[in-house]
Amino acid sequence: MSSVVGVERIPYDEFALFHENAEEYGLPYDGPPEVRREAVEVEPGRHVSALVWGHDDPELVLLHGGAQNAHTWDTVAMALGRPLVAIDLPGHGHSGRPPAGAHAVGQHAIDVAVAVESLAPHAAAVVGMSLGGLTSLALSKHRPDLVRRLVLVDVTPGVDEAKSSHIVAFVNGPESFDSFDELLARTIEFNPTRSVSSLRRGILHNAQQREDGTWVWRYARFREGGGTMPPEFGELWDAVSAFHGPILLLRGMAEGSVVSDADEAELLRLAPSARVERIAGAGHSIQGDQPLVLAHLVEDFVS
């Protein structure tokens, strides 16, 4: 119980909401899936956290986008039904603080490599959305032995400030919120096509309530100073041309996508054998807008 008198506490069990995912997307459900949380020390005093699905050797590694967490993949993971690992990027979800002053995807890749080597060294593919996709590209340069196939979910190195301005506006919002309802209202405002139930579930996974009753995004716990501006990622085009495994780009075609026709063309110029799938009815977060379509395409790609 909270030590603050009169503060309403909202209960949260991260493994108690899977039935909502199943109900919303019509998935069969005969009880909670086998999922556990693991922590991997990446250096003394710092760890990366992950959700490990199933008990067999993980076949996939899933990396979420900036300001998200591993639970963004829950519906996709349930639809796939494969053993896999969904990682919380450094500073996100249940992972610990990133190195002081380090927010570059190169550093994320170094930390993620330690976690992948520990939890899923034989995975058939790495699936990365947005920041997770850019981290996947950096990982393919840092540890190519850990990235056999690569799925980029609505991102290329061509993403820039203009294309991601709507995302930056949301992420750079208030550092804390007086109530859950206030946090939900802002989330609905920036995600008008998503169901309220899915957004509520996402907030419970991605925010935490303080002892005084206020709420803070998990990714904002380690924010230094004010908001952030997106860096340039053009140097990662080299990772695209250097990667020798199969590549699948999943591009959202609704408002909010950060991939342009020029980005798609550049990807195919550097990796002519890459496969591109355009997803109708999905914006940037394809795993939230069209999770079953995403799961089907990933299944087809790795099979």
Q: Output the pLDDT for position 1.
A: 37
Q: Output the pLDDT for position 7.
A: 78
Report whether pLDDT(174) > 50. yes
Q: Is the pTM of this model over 0.75?
A: yes
Do 89 and 63 touch, CB atoms closer than 8 A? yes
Question: Which distant-in-sequence residues (6+ apart) come within 8 Å of 279 by Cβ?
Answer: 250, 251, 252, 253, 286, 289, 290, 293, 294
Q: Output the pLDDT for position 172.
A: 87
Q: Give me the amino acid identity at 113.
A: A
C-alpha pair distances (Å), 297 with each of 77, 152, 253:
13, 12, 15
Q: Can you tell me the distance from the alpha carbon of 50 to that of 115, in angstroms, rounded to the nearest whole number?
A: 8
* H helix intervals, the chain: 18-25, 74-80, 105-119, 131-142, 165-171, 180-190, 196-206, 237-242, 261-270, 286-289, 291-302
- What is the per-residue pLDDT across 16-65, written as a single tens digit (0 to 9) for each? 999 999 999 999 999 999 999 999 999 999 999 999 999 999 999 999 99
Report whether pLDDT(2) > 50. no
Looking at per-residue pLDDT, the higher value among 84 and 221 belongs to 84
Q: Output the pLDDT for position 248.
A: 99
Catalogue all structural domains in the chain, each as residue range(s) with its CATH number. 18-160+228-302 (3.40.50.1820)
Report whether pLDDT(270) > 50. yes
| Lowest mean pLDDT across 50-64, 135-149, 165-179, 285-299 | 165-179
Q: Output the pLDDT for position 175.
A: 85
| Lowest mean pLDDT across 20-34, 84-98, 215-229 | 215-229
- What is the per-residue pLDDT across 248-269, written as a single tens digit (0 to 9) for each? 999 999 999 999 999 999 999 9
Sheet holding 60-63, edge to edge: 35-43, 46-53, 84-87, 60-63, 125-129, 150-153, 247-252, 275-279
Report whether pLDDT(140) > 70. yes
Would you place residue 221 in the very low, low, confident or very high pLDDT band (cuts 50, 70, 90)?
A: confident
Length of the chain: 303
212 part of the active site: no
User: Which member of 154, 198, 205, 289 is catalytic?
Assistant: 154
* H helix intervals, 8-100: 18-25, 74-80
Would you place residue 4 in the very low, low, confident or very high pLDDT band (cuts 50, 70, 90)?
A: low
Q: Indicate the average pLDDT of the chain.
A: 93
- What is the per-residue pLDDT across 108-131, written as a single tens digit (0 to 9) for each? 999 999 999 999 999 999 999 999
284 part of the active site: yes
Report whether pLDDT(99) > 90. no
Q: Closest Cα partner for 178 from 205, 203, 212? A: 212
Q: Output the pLDDT for position 100.
A: 67
User: Which member of 49, 95, 130, 198 is catalytic?
Assistant: 130
Q: Give me the amino acid identity at 160.
A: D
User: Which member of 94, 108, 284, 289 is catalytic?
Assistant: 284
260 part of the active site: no
Say which residue the tokens 């959202």 belong to: 252
Q: Output the pLDDT for position 94.
A: 97
